[in-house]
Amino acid sequence: MDLPNDGQLPAESETAELLRELLAGGEASAFENMTRFMELMVRYNCAIREVRTKFEVLNEELSFRTSRNPIESISSRIKKPASIVKKLRRLGKELTVDEIEKSLNDVAGIRVICAFIDDIYRVADMLARQDDITVIRVKDYIRKPKLNGYRSYHMIVEVPVFFSQSKQMVRVEIQLRTVAMDFWASLEHRMKYKKAGADRPDIANELKSCAEVIAATDARMQGIRERIERMENGSDAGQ
């Protein structure tokens, strides 16, 4: 099957390239590859549901225990074909279904927005201790921010997904942030992918300065919350 190239945006041409690779090798092979690709996407979607449910359960339990919700929101996404192509190329891998499953840990992604920094660590620890969750990797960009100021807590986990005839272990990337961290990351991401802001060190420096202010504000807000809680418990009445 020949797919048109002319006049396509880069993302569209990369998607077309992935389709070409999957459909190459004759009708039988093309059908098998596309079927396997679609099955893989189903597995990733189901894994997202499994992990989302776990966070929703933890949030409900902690809300009952502490009378507040540690999780503000949960969002999820499946990596687009164009992004899959870019990532495989960057890693020097072939554009195959096997390589997607073997080499990419972030096809299925979940973002958890928490109210406070300590909520991030509490929720992440509770998830990691569940006996059907395998933690593959953790990157703590809160305690060790990136050079540009980016802060977030990243986890790669593996979760079992049960189907009618099999159990599949599927990897999911999780990002946990405060509301302020997420607001900053969204603006920084927008600047990074806009040509007008890509070569503006003044904007990058200002964003980094904002990241430091946000980190300090997150810490202060947590301190205020802890003080209010001590007052409610009668242990900070004189301060």
> Would you name the residues annotated as active-site residues?
173
The closest of 175, 103, 188 to 140, measured between CA atoms, is 175
Q: Residue 56's pLDDT is what?
A: 97
Average pLDDT of the chain? Answer: 86
- Residue 100 buriedness (CB in 10 A; 0-12 / 13-18 / 19+): buried
Of the candidate CATH numbers 3.40.640.10, 3.90.180.10, 1.20.1250.20, 3.30.460.10, the domain formed by 10-179 belongs to 3.30.460.10
Reported as a pLDDT band with limits 50, 70 and 90, residue 232 is confident
For position 172, what pLDDT does the model report? 98
For the chain, the domains span 10-179
Separation of alpha carbons 16 and 21, rounded Å = 9
pLDDT of 95 higher than 90:
no
Residue 197 has pLDDT above 60, yes or no: no
Angstrom distance (rounded) from CA 201 to CA 161:
45
Encode pLDDT of 47-67 as tens digits.
Answer: 999 999 999 999 999 999 888
Under the phi-then-psi rule, with left for phi > 0, alpha for psi from -120 to 50, and beta for the rest, what region is 149? Answer: left
